[in-house]
Amino acid sequence: MSEMQGAGLFGPSPLGVLNVGLSGFAGAVEAAGGRVSPVAWRPPAGADPDRAWRLAVALADAEVDAANATAVAAFLAADPVLVDVSSAASVIPALGDGARRLLHAGPPIDYAAMCGPMQGALVGAVLFEGWAADPDAAAALLRDGAVATEPCHHHGAVGPMAGVVSPSMPMWVVEDRSSGRRSFSSLNEGLGAVLRFGANGPEVLDRLAWMRDELGPVLASTLGVTRSGEAGGLPLRPIMAQALHMGDEVHNRNAAATGLLLRRLLPDLLASGAPVASLGRVATFIGGNDHFFLNLSMAACKAMLRAAEGVPHSTMVTTMARNGVQFGIRVSGGGDRWFEATAPVVDGLFFPGFGPQDAAADLGDSAITETAGLGGFAMAAAPAIAQFVGGTPADAVANSRRMQRIGIDRNPAFTLPPLGFASTVAGIDVRRVLDGGVLPVINTGIAHRAAGVGQIGAGITTAPMGCFLAAFDALFPASRS
Protein backbone atom coordinates (compact mmCIF):
# COMPACT_ATOMS: atom_id res chain seq x y z
CA MET A 1 0.00 0.00 0.00
CA SER A 2 2.75 2.45 0.83
CA GLU A 3 4.28 2.03 -2.57
CA MET A 4 1.01 2.81 -4.34
CA GLN A 5 0.48 6.00 -2.39
CA GLY A 6 4.06 7.11 -2.78
CA ALA A 7 4.29 6.40 -6.46
CA GLY A 8 1.09 8.18 -7.36
CA LEU A 9 1.84 11.31 -5.43
CA PHE A 10 5.52 11.94 -5.87
CA GLY A 11 7.03 10.47 -8.95
CA PRO A 12 6.96 8.70 -12.27
CA SER A 13 6.92 5.21 -10.72
CA PRO A 14 4.92 2.61 -12.69
CA LEU A 15 1.38 1.67 -11.75
CA GLY A 16 1.27 -0.48 -8.60
CA VAL A 17 -1.53 -3.00 -8.16
CA LEU A 18 -2.47 -5.34 -5.33
CA ASN A 19 -3.89 -8.44 -6.98
CA VAL A 20 -6.30 -10.27 -4.69
CA GLY A 21 -7.40 -13.72 -5.76
CA LEU A 22 -7.11 -15.13 -9.30
CA SER A 23 -3.65 -14.74 -10.72
CA GLY A 24 -5.00 -14.31 -14.26
CA PHE A 25 -5.67 -10.63 -13.65
CA ALA A 26 -2.01 -9.96 -12.99
CA GLY A 27 -0.89 -10.62 -16.55
CA ALA A 28 -2.84 -7.74 -18.03
CA VAL A 29 -1.43 -5.27 -15.55
CA GLU A 30 2.11 -6.48 -16.03
CA ALA A 31 1.73 -6.37 -19.81
CA ALA A 32 0.88 -2.69 -19.45
CA GLY A 33 4.11 -2.09 -17.50
CA GLY A 34 2.50 -2.22 -14.09
CA ARG A 35 3.85 -3.92 -11.02
CA VAL A 36 1.67 -6.51 -9.32
CA SER A 37 1.85 -7.52 -5.67
CA PRO A 38 -0.14 -10.71 -5.25
CA VAL A 39 -2.13 -11.07 -2.03
CA ALA A 40 -2.71 -14.62 -0.82
CA TRP A 41 -6.33 -14.04 0.07
CA ARG A 42 -8.95 -16.70 -0.23
CA PRO A 43 -12.62 -16.36 0.55
CA PRO A 44 -13.43 -17.74 3.98
CA ALA A 45 -15.33 -20.93 4.80
CA GLY A 46 -14.14 -22.85 1.76
CA ALA A 47 -15.74 -20.42 -0.71
CA ASP A 48 -19.21 -21.79 0.02
CA PRO A 49 -21.66 -18.86 0.32
CA ASP A 50 -24.07 -20.77 2.57
CA ARG A 51 -21.23 -21.80 4.87
CA ALA A 52 -19.82 -18.28 4.82
CA TRP A 53 -23.17 -17.03 6.10
CA ARG A 54 -23.29 -19.70 8.79
CA LEU A 55 -19.71 -18.78 9.76
CA ALA A 56 -20.64 -15.12 10.14
CA VAL A 57 -23.51 -16.14 12.39
CA ALA A 58 -21.34 -18.57 14.35
CA LEU A 59 -18.63 -15.96 14.89
CA ALA A 60 -21.21 -13.69 16.48
CA ASP A 61 -22.77 -16.48 18.57
CA ALA A 62 -22.42 -15.62 22.26
CA GLU A 63 -23.41 -19.15 23.22
CA VAL A 64 -20.40 -20.50 21.35
CA ASP A 65 -18.13 -17.90 22.94
CA ALA A 66 -19.37 -18.89 26.39
CA ALA A 67 -18.90 -22.58 25.62
CA ASN A 68 -15.36 -21.93 24.41
CA ALA A 69 -14.60 -19.94 27.55
CA THR A 70 -15.75 -22.92 29.61
CA ALA A 71 -13.66 -25.36 27.59
CA VAL A 72 -10.55 -23.17 27.72
CA ALA A 73 -10.95 -22.59 31.44
CA ALA A 74 -10.97 -26.36 32.00
CA PHE A 75 -7.91 -26.71 29.75
CA LEU A 76 -6.05 -24.04 31.70
CA ALA A 77 -7.08 -25.48 35.07
CA ALA A 78 -5.78 -28.93 34.22
CA ASP A 79 -2.64 -29.83 36.17
CA PRO A 80 -0.93 -32.85 34.61
CA VAL A 81 1.26 -34.71 37.09
CA LEU A 82 3.40 -37.76 36.28
CA VAL A 83 2.42 -40.34 38.87
CA ASP A 84 3.44 -43.75 37.60
CA VAL A 85 4.80 -46.07 34.94
CA SER A 86 2.71 -49.22 34.60
CA SER A 87 1.85 -51.82 31.98
CA ALA A 88 -0.77 -50.81 29.43
CA ALA A 89 -2.83 -53.85 30.49
CA SER A 90 -2.99 -52.58 34.04
CA VAL A 91 -4.10 -49.03 33.26
CA ILE A 92 -6.14 -49.27 30.03
CA PRO A 93 -9.14 -51.59 30.54
CA ALA A 94 -9.44 -52.43 26.84
CA LEU A 95 -5.92 -53.87 26.91
CA GLY A 96 -6.35 -55.69 30.19
CA ASP A 97 -9.42 -57.84 29.51
CA GLY A 98 -7.52 -60.70 27.85
CA ALA A 99 -8.74 -59.83 24.37
CA ARG A 100 -6.10 -59.52 21.66
CA ARG A 101 -6.29 -55.78 21.07
CA LEU A 102 -3.74 -53.14 20.06
CA LEU A 103 -3.89 -49.35 19.93
CA HIS A 104 -2.62 -47.12 17.11
CA ALA A 105 -2.23 -43.42 16.30
CA GLY A 106 -4.78 -41.18 14.62
CA PRO A 107 -8.43 -41.72 13.76
CA PRO A 108 -9.85 -45.26 13.26
CA ILE A 109 -8.66 -47.18 10.20
CA ASP A 110 -8.78 -50.79 8.99
CA TYR A 111 -5.54 -52.74 8.98
CA ALA A 112 -5.70 -53.23 5.20
CA ALA A 113 -5.94 -49.49 4.60
CA MET A 114 -3.09 -48.50 6.93
CA CYS A 115 0.25 -47.06 5.80
CA GLY A 116 3.38 -49.23 5.83
CA PRO A 117 4.91 -47.98 9.10
CA MET A 118 1.66 -48.55 11.02
CA GLN A 119 1.22 -52.07 9.63
CA GLY A 120 4.84 -52.85 10.46
CA ALA A 121 4.48 -51.56 14.00
CA LEU A 122 1.31 -53.59 14.60
CA VAL A 123 3.03 -56.73 13.29
CA GLY A 124 5.90 -56.00 15.67
CA ALA A 125 3.50 -55.60 18.59
CA VAL A 126 1.82 -58.95 17.81
CA LEU A 127 5.26 -60.60 17.82
CA PHE A 128 6.24 -58.76 21.00
CA GLU A 129 3.11 -60.08 22.75
CA GLY A 130 3.89 -63.61 21.53
CA TRP A 131 0.57 -63.89 19.69
CA ALA A 132 2.28 -65.08 16.50
CA ALA A 133 5.58 -66.74 15.69
CA ASP A 134 6.53 -64.77 12.60
CA PRO A 135 5.60 -61.56 10.75
CA ASP A 136 3.40 -63.29 8.17
CA ALA A 137 1.36 -65.01 10.83
CA ALA A 138 1.11 -61.74 12.73
CA ALA A 139 -0.11 -59.88 9.65
CA ALA A 140 -2.71 -62.59 9.04
CA LEU A 141 -4.10 -62.18 12.56
CA LEU A 142 -4.38 -58.43 12.00
CA ARG A 143 -5.98 -58.81 8.56
CA ASP A 144 -8.52 -61.34 9.87
CA GLY A 145 -9.42 -59.21 12.87
CA ALA A 146 -8.18 -61.93 15.27
CA VAL A 147 -6.15 -59.06 16.70
CA ALA A 148 -8.33 -55.97 16.96
CA THR A 149 -7.03 -52.42 16.55
CA GLU A 150 -8.41 -49.17 17.96
CA PRO A 151 -7.16 -45.59 18.20
CA CYS A 152 -5.10 -44.63 21.27
CA HIS A 153 -7.32 -41.57 21.58
CA HIS A 154 -10.35 -43.79 22.30
CA HIS A 155 -8.62 -44.88 25.49
CA GLY A 156 -7.11 -41.66 26.85
CA ALA A 157 -3.76 -42.54 25.33
CA VAL A 158 -1.41 -41.05 22.75
CA GLY A 159 1.55 -42.45 20.84
CA PRO A 160 4.03 -40.81 18.42
CA MET A 161 4.18 -41.90 14.73
CA ALA A 162 2.51 -45.35 14.41
CA GLY A 163 1.59 -44.95 18.07
CA VAL A 164 1.20 -48.67 18.64
CA VAL A 165 0.50 -49.80 22.20
CA SER A 166 0.24 -53.42 23.30
CA PRO A 167 -0.83 -54.81 26.69
CA SER A 168 2.61 -55.49 28.17
CA MET A 169 4.26 -52.21 27.17
CA PRO A 170 5.12 -49.84 30.03
CA MET A 171 3.09 -46.60 29.90
CA TRP A 172 3.56 -43.17 31.42
CA VAL A 173 0.59 -42.47 33.70
CA VAL A 174 -0.26 -38.77 33.92
CA GLU A 175 -2.97 -37.61 36.29
CA ASP A 176 -4.82 -34.34 35.88
CA ARG A 177 -4.97 -33.13 39.47
CA SER A 178 -7.98 -30.93 38.81
CA SER A 179 -10.20 -33.79 37.57
CA GLY A 180 -8.42 -36.93 38.79
CA ARG A 181 -8.60 -38.30 35.23
CA ARG A 182 -5.56 -40.19 33.90
CA SER A 183 -3.92 -40.08 30.49
CA PHE A 184 -1.30 -42.44 29.08
CA SER A 185 1.51 -42.67 26.58
CA SER A 186 4.14 -45.18 25.62
CA LEU A 187 7.82 -44.64 26.49
CA ASN A 188 10.08 -43.25 23.77
CA GLU A 189 12.31 -45.89 22.16
CA GLY A 190 14.96 -43.51 20.80
CA LEU A 191 15.96 -43.14 17.16
CA GLY A 192 17.09 -45.63 14.52
CA ALA A 193 15.17 -48.88 14.00
CA VAL A 194 12.17 -48.44 16.28
CA LEU A 195 8.63 -49.78 16.38
CA ARG A 196 6.99 -46.38 15.96
CA PHE A 197 8.47 -46.12 12.44
CA GLY A 198 7.31 -49.65 11.65
CA ALA A 199 10.53 -51.60 12.31
CA ASN A 200 9.90 -54.98 13.94
CA GLY A 201 13.18 -56.91 13.78
CA PRO A 202 14.95 -58.60 16.72
CA GLU A 203 16.78 -55.39 17.72
CA VAL A 204 13.43 -53.60 18.08
CA LEU A 205 11.73 -56.43 19.96
CA ASP A 206 14.74 -56.86 22.26
CA ARG A 207 14.66 -53.18 23.14
CA LEU A 208 10.92 -53.36 23.84
CA ALA A 209 11.55 -56.35 26.10
CA TRP A 210 14.24 -54.42 27.99
CA MET A 211 11.88 -51.46 28.34
CA ARG A 212 9.23 -53.82 29.74
CA ASP A 213 11.60 -55.74 32.03
CA GLU A 214 14.03 -53.09 33.30
CA LEU A 215 13.27 -49.51 32.22
CA GLY A 216 9.57 -49.68 33.15
CA PRO A 217 10.08 -51.29 36.57
CA VAL A 218 12.97 -48.96 37.48
CA LEU A 219 10.88 -45.92 36.52
CA ALA A 220 7.93 -47.35 38.46
CA SER A 221 10.11 -47.67 41.58
CA THR A 222 11.50 -44.19 40.98
CA LEU A 223 8.03 -42.68 40.70
CA GLY A 224 7.08 -44.52 43.86
CA VAL A 225 9.70 -42.35 45.58
CA THR A 226 8.48 -39.27 43.69
CA ARG A 227 4.87 -39.92 44.74
CA SER A 228 5.95 -39.96 48.37
CA GLY A 229 7.25 -36.40 47.94
CA GLU A 230 5.38 -33.20 48.62
CA ALA A 231 3.78 -32.91 45.17
CA GLY A 232 2.72 -36.58 45.12
CA GLY A 233 4.26 -36.94 41.68
CA LEU A 234 6.12 -34.86 39.13
CA PRO A 235 4.15 -31.83 37.87
CA LEU A 236 4.78 -31.63 34.14
CA ARG A 237 3.62 -28.12 33.25
CA PRO A 238 6.56 -26.43 35.04
CA ILE A 239 9.03 -28.64 33.14
CA MET A 240 7.35 -27.80 29.83
CA ALA A 241 7.24 -24.09 30.69
CA GLN A 242 10.93 -24.11 31.57
CA ALA A 243 11.82 -26.07 28.42
CA LEU A 244 10.09 -23.35 26.34
CA HIS A 245 12.65 -20.97 27.86
CA MET A 246 15.43 -23.37 26.90
CA GLY A 247 14.91 -23.71 23.17
CA ASP A 248 12.37 -26.55 23.08
CA GLU A 249 8.89 -26.45 21.59
CA VAL A 250 8.30 -29.87 23.29
CA HIS A 251 7.25 -31.62 20.09
CA ASN A 252 10.21 -32.08 17.76
CA ARG A 253 12.72 -30.57 20.16
CA ASN A 254 12.79 -31.99 23.67
CA ALA A 255 16.50 -31.69 24.43
CA ALA A 256 16.03 -29.36 27.38
CA ALA A 257 12.89 -31.06 28.68
CA THR A 258 14.60 -34.46 28.63
CA GLY A 259 17.49 -33.01 30.63
CA LEU A 260 15.13 -31.35 33.09
CA LEU A 261 13.19 -34.61 33.52
CA LEU A 262 16.34 -36.61 34.16
CA ARG A 263 17.70 -33.98 36.52
CA ARG A 264 14.44 -33.90 38.47
CA LEU A 265 14.01 -37.69 38.65
CA LEU A 266 17.66 -38.44 39.38
CA PRO A 267 17.58 -38.24 43.19
CA ASP A 268 14.49 -40.48 43.20
CA LEU A 269 16.11 -42.83 40.69
CA LEU A 270 19.08 -43.16 43.04
CA ALA A 271 16.70 -43.75 45.95
CA SER A 272 14.63 -46.30 44.03
CA GLY A 273 16.52 -49.31 45.34
CA ALA A 274 17.41 -50.50 41.84
CA PRO A 275 20.93 -51.92 41.43
CA VAL A 276 23.56 -49.46 40.24
CA ALA A 277 24.16 -51.39 37.00
CA SER A 278 20.46 -51.16 36.24
CA LEU A 279 20.45 -47.43 37.03
CA GLY A 280 23.41 -47.02 34.70
CA ARG A 281 21.52 -48.61 31.79
CA VAL A 282 18.41 -46.57 32.51
CA ALA A 283 20.32 -43.29 32.80
CA THR A 284 22.31 -43.99 29.65
CA PHE A 285 19.15 -44.83 27.71
CA ILE A 286 17.28 -41.70 28.82
CA GLY A 287 20.29 -39.40 28.64
CA GLY A 288 21.16 -40.61 25.16
CA ASN A 289 17.79 -39.70 23.63
CA ASP A 290 16.94 -36.03 23.12
CA HIS A 291 13.36 -37.07 22.29
CA PHE A 292 12.74 -39.01 25.48
CA PHE A 293 10.45 -36.34 26.93
CA LEU A 294 8.25 -36.21 23.79
CA ASN A 295 5.88 -38.95 24.91
CA LEU A 296 5.47 -37.30 28.32
CA SER A 297 4.81 -33.94 26.66
CA MET A 298 2.12 -35.68 24.60
CA ALA A 299 0.54 -37.34 27.63
CA ALA A 300 0.52 -34.00 29.48
CA CYS A 301 -1.11 -32.25 26.51
CA LYS A 302 -3.65 -35.05 26.24
CA ALA A 303 -4.47 -34.63 29.94
CA MET A 304 -4.97 -30.87 29.51
CA LEU A 305 -7.13 -31.29 26.42
CA ARG A 306 -9.27 -34.08 27.89
CA ALA A 307 -10.33 -31.54 30.50
CA ALA A 308 -11.80 -29.42 27.70
CA GLU A 309 -13.78 -32.21 26.03
CA GLY A 310 -17.55 -32.44 25.82
CA VAL A 311 -18.64 -28.84 26.27
CA PRO A 312 -21.79 -28.44 24.12
CA HIS A 313 -21.47 -25.82 21.37
CA SER A 314 -17.73 -25.33 21.94
CA THR A 315 -15.68 -25.02 18.75
CA MET A 316 -12.40 -25.69 20.58
CA VAL A 317 -10.28 -28.40 18.94
CA THR A 318 -9.47 -31.12 21.50
CA THR A 319 -7.65 -33.59 19.25
CA MET A 320 -5.54 -33.46 16.08
CA ALA A 321 -4.12 -36.85 15.08
CA ARG A 322 -2.97 -38.70 11.96
CA ASN A 323 -2.88 -42.36 11.03
CA GLY A 324 -0.67 -41.90 7.96
CA VAL A 325 -3.69 -41.92 5.64
CA GLN A 326 -6.27 -39.65 7.25
CA PHE A 327 -5.87 -36.55 9.40
CA GLY A 328 -8.58 -36.40 12.03
CA ILE A 329 -9.67 -33.78 14.52
CA ARG A 330 -12.15 -33.82 17.36
CA VAL A 331 -13.92 -30.79 18.74
CA SER A 332 -15.18 -30.15 22.26
CA GLY A 333 -18.80 -29.61 21.16
CA GLY A 334 -18.62 -32.50 18.70
CA GLY A 335 -18.35 -35.31 21.21
CA ASP A 336 -16.34 -38.35 20.12
CA ARG A 337 -16.81 -37.74 16.39
CA TRP A 338 -13.75 -37.55 14.18
CA PHE A 339 -13.69 -34.99 11.37
CA GLU A 340 -11.28 -36.19 8.75
CA ALA A 341 -9.44 -35.26 5.56
CA THR A 342 -6.59 -36.84 3.63
CA ALA A 343 -3.33 -36.58 5.60
CA PRO A 344 -0.83 -34.34 3.80
CA VAL A 345 2.63 -35.41 2.72
CA VAL A 346 5.10 -33.30 4.68
CA ASP A 347 7.38 -31.03 2.71
CA GLY A 348 10.45 -30.85 4.88
CA LEU A 349 14.16 -31.48 5.12
CA PHE A 350 14.96 -35.03 4.06
CA PHE A 351 17.96 -37.05 5.21
CA PRO A 352 20.50 -37.70 2.41
CA GLY A 353 19.18 -40.17 -0.15
CA PHE A 354 15.49 -39.61 0.62
CA GLY A 355 12.82 -37.34 -0.83
CA PRO A 356 9.07 -36.67 -0.74
CA GLN A 357 8.44 -39.72 -2.96
CA ASP A 358 9.70 -41.94 -0.11
CA ALA A 359 7.56 -40.35 2.59
CA ALA A 360 4.51 -41.71 4.34
CA ALA A 361 1.74 -39.14 4.79
CA ASP A 362 1.54 -37.23 8.05
CA LEU A 363 1.49 -39.71 10.95
CA GLY A 364 1.09 -39.88 14.70
CA ASP A 365 -0.72 -38.56 17.75
CA SER A 366 2.05 -36.06 18.44
CA ALA A 367 -0.01 -33.20 16.96
CA ILE A 368 -1.68 -33.24 20.37
CA THR A 369 1.15 -30.84 21.29
CA GLU A 370 0.03 -28.34 18.65
CA THR A 371 -3.58 -28.85 19.78
CA ALA A 372 -2.35 -27.65 23.18
CA GLY A 373 -0.60 -24.59 21.70
CA LEU A 374 2.90 -26.09 21.70
CA GLY A 375 5.04 -27.66 18.96
CA GLY A 376 4.59 -25.67 15.75
CA PHE A 377 2.54 -23.09 17.66
CA ALA A 378 5.48 -22.45 19.99
CA MET A 379 8.25 -22.55 17.39
CA ALA A 380 9.36 -19.03 18.33
CA ALA A 381 10.78 -20.57 21.51
CA ALA A 382 12.92 -23.00 19.52
CA PRO A 383 14.92 -21.10 16.90
CA ALA A 384 17.44 -23.95 16.67
CA ILE A 385 14.66 -26.23 15.39
CA ALA A 386 14.94 -24.48 12.03
CA GLN A 387 18.04 -26.61 11.44
CA PHE A 388 15.85 -29.70 11.85
CA VAL A 389 12.54 -28.87 10.18
CA GLY A 390 13.71 -26.20 7.72
CA GLY A 391 13.24 -22.46 7.51
CA THR A 392 14.86 -19.77 9.60
CA PRO A 393 14.48 -18.57 13.17
CA ALA A 394 12.47 -15.65 11.70
CA ASP A 395 10.06 -18.15 10.11
CA ALA A 396 9.67 -19.85 13.46
CA VAL A 397 8.73 -16.56 15.08
CA ALA A 398 6.31 -15.76 12.22
CA ASN A 399 4.61 -19.14 12.63
CA SER A 400 4.02 -18.56 16.33
CA ARG A 401 2.63 -15.09 15.66
CA ARG A 402 0.31 -16.38 12.93
CA MET A 403 -1.05 -19.12 15.17
CA GLN A 404 -2.20 -16.51 17.68
CA ARG A 405 -4.88 -15.54 15.14
CA ILE A 406 -6.70 -18.87 15.55
CA GLY A 407 -6.46 -19.12 19.33
CA ILE A 408 -9.44 -18.77 21.63
CA ASP A 409 -7.35 -17.45 24.51
CA ARG A 410 -3.80 -17.28 25.85
CA ASN A 411 -2.09 -19.72 28.21
CA PRO A 412 -0.20 -17.83 30.92
CA ALA A 413 1.58 -21.05 31.95
CA PHE A 414 3.54 -21.21 28.71
CA THR A 415 5.42 -18.16 27.43
CA LEU A 416 7.69 -17.51 24.47
CA PRO A 417 10.81 -15.47 25.31
CA PRO A 418 11.56 -14.24 21.75
CA LEU A 419 8.03 -12.78 21.54
CA GLY A 420 8.61 -10.74 24.69
CA PHE A 421 7.27 -13.62 26.80
CA ALA A 422 3.92 -13.63 25.01
CA SER A 423 1.69 -16.52 26.04
CA THR A 424 1.01 -19.50 23.82
CA VAL A 425 -2.39 -20.19 22.32
CA ALA A 426 -5.01 -21.80 24.58
CA GLY A 427 -7.47 -23.62 22.36
CA ILE A 428 -7.79 -23.62 18.57
CA ASP A 429 -11.14 -22.19 17.44
CA VAL A 430 -12.59 -24.00 14.40
CA ARG A 431 -14.42 -20.77 13.48
CA ARG A 432 -11.25 -18.71 13.34
CA VAL A 433 -9.48 -21.32 11.22
CA LEU A 434 -12.26 -21.01 8.65
CA ASP A 435 -12.54 -17.25 8.97
CA GLY A 436 -8.90 -16.40 8.29
CA GLY A 437 -7.90 -19.51 6.38
CA VAL A 438 -5.00 -19.89 8.82
CA LEU A 439 -4.33 -23.59 9.31
CA PRO A 440 -2.68 -25.01 12.43
CA VAL A 441 1.03 -25.48 11.79
CA ILE A 442 2.60 -28.75 12.88
CA ASN A 443 6.28 -29.67 13.35
CA THR A 444 6.69 -33.31 12.57
CA GLY A 445 9.07 -36.13 11.82
CA ILE A 446 8.70 -37.83 8.43
CA ALA A 447 8.48 -41.64 8.26
CA HIS A 448 9.47 -43.72 5.25
CA ARG A 449 6.37 -45.10 3.54
CA ALA A 450 7.73 -48.64 3.88
CA ALA A 451 7.59 -50.34 7.25
CA GLY A 452 10.76 -50.28 9.27
CA VAL A 453 12.96 -47.96 7.23
CA GLY A 454 12.47 -45.35 9.91
CA GLN A 455 12.66 -41.58 9.99
CA ILE A 456 13.77 -40.00 6.73
CA GLY A 457 13.34 -36.33 7.56
CA ALA A 458 11.41 -33.69 9.44
CA GLY A 459 9.42 -30.69 8.43
CA ILE A 460 6.53 -28.37 8.90
CA THR A 461 3.03 -29.10 7.70
CA THR A 462 -0.47 -27.88 8.39
CA ALA A 463 -3.67 -29.61 9.40
CA PRO A 464 -5.90 -29.92 6.30
CA MET A 465 -8.78 -27.45 5.95
CA GLY A 466 -11.17 -30.33 5.20
CA CYS A 467 -11.16 -31.39 8.86
CA PHE A 468 -12.21 -27.96 10.02
CA LEU A 469 -14.88 -27.56 7.33
CA ALA A 470 -16.35 -30.94 8.31
CA ALA A 471 -16.30 -30.08 12.00
CA PHE A 472 -17.90 -26.70 11.34
CA ASP A 473 -20.66 -28.22 9.19
CA ALA A 474 -21.41 -30.74 11.93
CA LEU A 475 -21.64 -28.08 14.64
CA PHE A 476 -23.44 -25.51 12.47
CA PRO A 477 -25.44 -27.56 9.94
CA ALA A 478 -27.10 -25.94 6.96
CA SER A 479 -30.56 -26.46 8.48
CA ARG A 480 -29.62 -24.25 11.45
CA SER A 481 -28.84 -21.15 9.42
Chain positions contacting its own copies, by CB under 8 A:
9-10, 242, 245-248, 255-256, 258-260, 262-264, 266-267, 270-271, 276, 279-280, 283-284, 287, 383-384, 386-387, 392-394, 417-418, 420-421
Based on CB atoms, which residue is closest to its own copies, 119 or 222?
Answer: 222
Asked if 165 and 94 count as a contact pair (C-beta separation under 8 A), the reply is no
CA dist 287 and 86 (Å) reads 21
Based on CB atoms, which residue is closest to its own copies, 113 or 384?
Answer: 384
Based on CB atoms, which residue is closest to its own copies, 128 or 293?
Answer: 293
| Minimum distance from residue 421 beta carbon to its own copies (Å) | 8
CA distances from 463 to 16, 191, 383, 412 (A): 35, 25, 22, 25
| Minimum distance from residue 456 beta carbon to its own copies (Å) | 24
* Residue 378 burial (10 A CB sphere; 0-12, 13-18, 19+): buried
Q: Is 388 helix (H, G, I), strand (E, B) or coil?
A: helix
Q: Kindly give the residue spans of alpha helices, DSSP state H, lying in 129-275.
A: 135-144, 202-210, 216-227, 236-244, 255-270
Based on CB atoms, which residue is closest to its own copies, 334 or 391?
Answer: 391
Asked if 175 and 81 count as a contact pair (C-beta separation under 8 A), the reply is yes
Residues 6+ apart with CB under 8 A from 187: 85, 169, 170, 171, 172, 211, 215, 216, 219, 295
Q: How many residues does the chain have?
A: 481
Based on CB atoms, which residue is closest to its own copies, 207 or 313?
Answer: 207
Based on CB atoms, which residue is closest to its own copies, 394 or 478?
Answer: 394
Which residue type, as a one-letter code, is found at position 275? P
CA dist 294 and 188 (Å) reads 7
Residues 6+ apart with CB under 8 A from 106: 151, 153, 163, 321, 322, 323, 324, 325, 326, 327, 328, 343, 363, 364, 365
Nearest to 147 by CA among 105, 98, 187, 186: 98
Based on CB atoms, which residue is closest to its own copies, 190 or 418?
Answer: 418
Q: Kindly give the residue spans of alpha helices, DSSP state H, lying in 390-441.
A: 393-403, 430-436
Based on CB atoms, which residue is closest to its own copies, 71 or 256?
Answer: 256
| Minimum distance from residue 280 beta carbon to its own copies (Å) | 4
| Minimum distance from residue 286 beta carbon to its own copies (Å) | 8
Residues 6+ apart with CB under 8 A from 269: 218, 222, 279, 282, 283
Based on CB atoms, which residue is closest to its own copies, 141 or 378?
Answer: 378
